[in-house]
């Protein structure tokens, strides 16, 4: 379980998130919603270790979280265009291999095999040799998810992972992500500007207003009117 306790972060004295306390469980996809500036990205960065909270704790299985246990999926995948899909996924395991292997492009056979399995997991089996620049937006985003999985994390975070995709492709990417999170029993937290895209795959919704948690409900208990209240507030 991932436990956030009284989490706070300020910038120049102004609160970005305030008193966030919530528990996230393995095997569930939680969708984080709220207007731009509500604190969604700050919350994700505090969990990932990219930002240090000013107060509160982030714990994984009752221990202070190790950033190596967290993988972050960025908008548009944040991939290097000159690399192949397989090379991009292998980047997720760099912490497990000597630097010289990456410099020479040599990877252990087990790492390559595992990276290929990650591509299969997101529906890109057979795409390993394709250059990232030759993939569609949805395919690039799925490569980004596969790379995150190759880090072998316990927690997968995604910051607006489908913001640049059309609704149909966005739903497809979210379905892939939700499927992997459930199958591998990972903790999943995804921020979205379009919460309706996740309606069919979300297990839970969290809503932020001005850095404060105003919604924490199972997806079954949340309708479009309740989601609108998060944004209207």
Task: Count other Cβ atoms within 10 Å, centred on residue 105.
Answer: 9
The candidate with the shortest Cα–Cα distance to 218, out of 25, 15, 88, 53, is 25
pTM summary value: 0.88
CB distance 196 to 167 below 8 Å? no
List, as one string, the DSSP characters of 209-226. ETTEEEEEEEGGG--HHH
Q: Say which residue the tokens 């479009």 belong to.
A: 224
Taking the C-alpha atoms of residue 84 and residue 88, their distance in angstroms, rounded to an integer, is 6
Contact between 4 and 56 under an 8 Å Cβ cutoff? The reply is: yes
Whose structure tokens read 């948690």?
213
Q: How far is CA 36 from the centre of its chain?
A: 17
Compute how many other C-beta atoms are within 10 angstroms of the C-beta atom of residue 53.
22
Residue 177 and residue 141 in contact, taking contact as beta carbons nearer than 8 Å:
no
pLDDT along the chain (233 residues), means of 10: 97 96 97 94 95 96 93 75 88 68 68 92 91 90 91 94 87 91 96 86 95 96 90 79
Tokens read off for 216: 């924490």
Widest Cα–Cα separation across the chain:
54
The three-point CA angle 179-46-95 to 5° equals: 65
Spatial separation of the C-alpha atoms in residues 196 and 43, rounded to whole Å = 21
Q: What is the DSSP letter of 65?
A: P
State the pLDDT at residue 107.
72
- The rounded distance, in Å, linking the Cα atoms of 43 and 40 is 5
CA distance 218 to 89: 32
The pLDDT value recorded for residue 162 is 86
pLDDT at residue 92, rounded to an integer: 85
Q: For residues 163 and 29, what is the distance between their CA atoms, to the nearest angstrom? A: 18
**pLDDT for 96:** 61
What is the pLDDT at residue 97? 60
Cβ-contact 154, 69 below 8 angstroms: yes
Q: Which domains does the chain have, with CATH numbers?
A: 2-232 (3.40.50.300)
Q: In this structure, are residues 31 and 192 in contact, taking their beta carbons and an 8 Å threshold?
A: yes
Per-residue confidence (pLDDT) for residue 165, from 0 to 100? 85
- Specify the pLDDT at position 104: 57
């Amino acid at each position: 379980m991932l436990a956030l306790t009284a989490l706070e972060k300020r910038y120049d004295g102004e609160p970005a998130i305030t008193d966030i306390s919530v528990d996230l469980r393995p095997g569930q996809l939680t969708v984080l919603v709220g207007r731009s500036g509500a604190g969604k990205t700050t919350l994700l960065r505090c969990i990932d270790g990219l930002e240090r909270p000013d107060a509160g704790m982030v714990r994984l299985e009752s221990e202070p979280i190790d950033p190596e246990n967290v993988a972050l999926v960025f908008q548009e995948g944040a991939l290097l265009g000159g690399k192949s899909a397989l090379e991009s996924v292998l980047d997720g395991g760099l912490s497990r291999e000597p630097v010289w292997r990456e410099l020479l492009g040599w990877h252990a056979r087990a790492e390559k095999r595992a990276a290929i399995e990650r591509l299969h997991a997101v529906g890109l089996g057979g795409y390993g040799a394709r250059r990232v620049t030759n993939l569609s937006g949805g395919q690039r985003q799925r490569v980004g998810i596969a790379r995150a999985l190759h880090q072998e994390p316990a927690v997968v975070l995604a910051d607006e992972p489908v913001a640049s995709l059309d609704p149909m492709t966005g739903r497809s990417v979210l379905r892939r992500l939700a499927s992997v999170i459930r199958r591998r029993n990972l903790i999943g937290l995804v921020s979205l500007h379009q919460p309706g895209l996740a309606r069919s795959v979300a297990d839970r919704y969290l809503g932020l207003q001005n850095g404060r948690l105003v919604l924490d409900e199972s997806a079954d208990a949340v309708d479009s009117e309740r989601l609108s209240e998060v944004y209207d507030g």
